[in-house]
Structure 1
């Protein structure tokens, strides 16, 4: 059924190669054959958050034209359940290298500049999603050892300021990291996986990249110095501290409650500690 839907749009499929990292989809594969060359196909079964996220990727393909993968086709199919099937342009390339001294940092910065200049009509504001003011208290309740050494009440006060700090009307990806940048052999750069776009202040995506730069080996000061070269980098110190406190609290809570852990969580805490002047071992 899914194959037939795909072939209605691209012609006869001769082979398909599964793509790693498609955990939010029931199908993620590069489909070969047909009349248009390889196509990257994602499909989700059943009305759910992953289906909403896939719809968001369709929207982003229009709002971030030339940056997000172009949408070749999308179709809903009713069989044993509702399926959403989306075909994206296939983008060969490699992820970005964010380590200190990498030549990729310049092109990543220019890509951020392009995204931060885009409007976000009809996209929900990040400030409306960031409604929890006490992530740090929740971390302490769930894992007291992880919160040890932090002034939880102070971090919650910073966290509560984050929604107002990030409010804006520019398009934000909100989940940028090295693997989301595809650097093509022809020099083209694209950004993939637009499942969580938001309207936000123009500096927000760059602030998310600051955390990833720290994870890649930059000091917090060096990461912010890199960010300060971006024309959309307009936050004041309080806005950045509120952002860092919110993200570190949120990511840490997810890590201790559902196992969504990774080195980026530690990097987020390191950034929040540096911003808030906290000495944590």
Structure 2
């Protein structure tokens, strides 16, 4: 099973002047840094402890690892600073950016990623948290955020690119229905209007479950404005990937009450499938040798799910 995990540099690989600026933000000297698994950024992701016992979570990257990761970390800094109180996300303690290296210093949230394949008790806690997050951020309190269609519309038009340049290994069922899938994917993008803050990158590796069962949502560079049900729908892609749950029943229980129509969910699933199957055929991005395999695994799993929903008339 492909997992969301890349290859990172560590705290000692960060230049001395950047580490010194992080310590200035913390007001103390870092004496321990433990690299954290999960996610695809090639930069650092370390839980750090200071000489006086302070704790923080530090992320740092430069274009030498991946230029796009630098852009995403800058966007995450803006979003994290603007998230309203009460949102279950780490608090931004400070940011250093010298134009090349960027380092985010965030609250260190005690917890671990949910177990995959998903345990139902943790999944229930995540779904409750996503529902509460949607309620807390509707109407959107962050007017500077882009819309989902504006930020991700091109990515979610993958079926158009697959139809124009069809790979030889495309699933025969999909290859025979490309015009239908292009139209369905476009309908998925059109369904994404809304007035709620959406994380849009909800997976197990972007969630932390605390010792008391509370859930924290981390890694916010892709935040935008969309429908209240979007994050609930997106976590089901991850649940479906690992198996063991009736994802359609879960959508009916948790996404429909947030305003999702079955046809919109099917169209979004089509758009996401097109994205995964299109993106996975591109060359590996610099410093990210595992992301294409993970996209391919997600594409194959969502395509099977899409076929099931269409066969059921959903």
What corresponds to 1:57 in structure 2? 76
Of 292, 307, 312, the residue aligned with 1:260 is 292
* CA offset digits 1:62-117 (Å, max 9, x no partner): 32544111111112236xxx221110111221222465762112211111112212
Of 83, 92, 95, the residue aligned with 1:74 is 95
The answer to whether the 8 A contact 2:274-2:299 is kept is no
What corresponds to 2:6 in structure 1? none
* CA offset digits 1:131-177 (Å, max 9, x no partner): 36752253352423224112011000111122220112211111111
Alpha-carbon distance in structure 2 between the residues aligned to 1:70 and 1:264: 30
Which structure 2 residue ranges, 5 or more long, are not aligned? 1-16, 284-290
Cα shift at 1:205: 0.8
TM-score by length of 1: 0.86
What corresponds to 1:179 in structure 2? 205
Pairs within 5 Å for 1:231-246: 231-232=257-258, 234-246=259-271
The answer to whether the 8 A contact 2:156-2:275 is kept is no
SS at 1:239 equivalent: helix
Between the two structures, name the one with larger relative contact order (CA 8 Å, sep ≥ 6): 2
Of 123, 132, 136, the residue aligned with 2:145 is 123
Pairs within 5 Å for 1:213-228: 213-215=239-241, 216-228=243-255
Alpha-carbon distance in structure 2 between the residues aligned to 1:190 and 1:64: 14
Work out whether 1:145 is the aligned partner of 2:169.
yes
What corresponds to 1:199 in structure 2? 225
How large is the Cα RMSD of the aligned pairs? 2.6
Which structure 1 residue ranges, 5 or more long, are not aligned? none
Alpha-carbon distance in structure 2 between the residues aligned to 1:36 and 1:71: 19
Alpha-carbon distance in structure 2 between the residues aligned to 1:59 and 1:176: 19
The answer to whether the 8 A contact 2:191-2:268 is kept is yes
Cα shift at 1:247: 0.3
What corresponds to 1:104 in structure 2? 122
Question: How many pairs were matched up?
Answer: 274
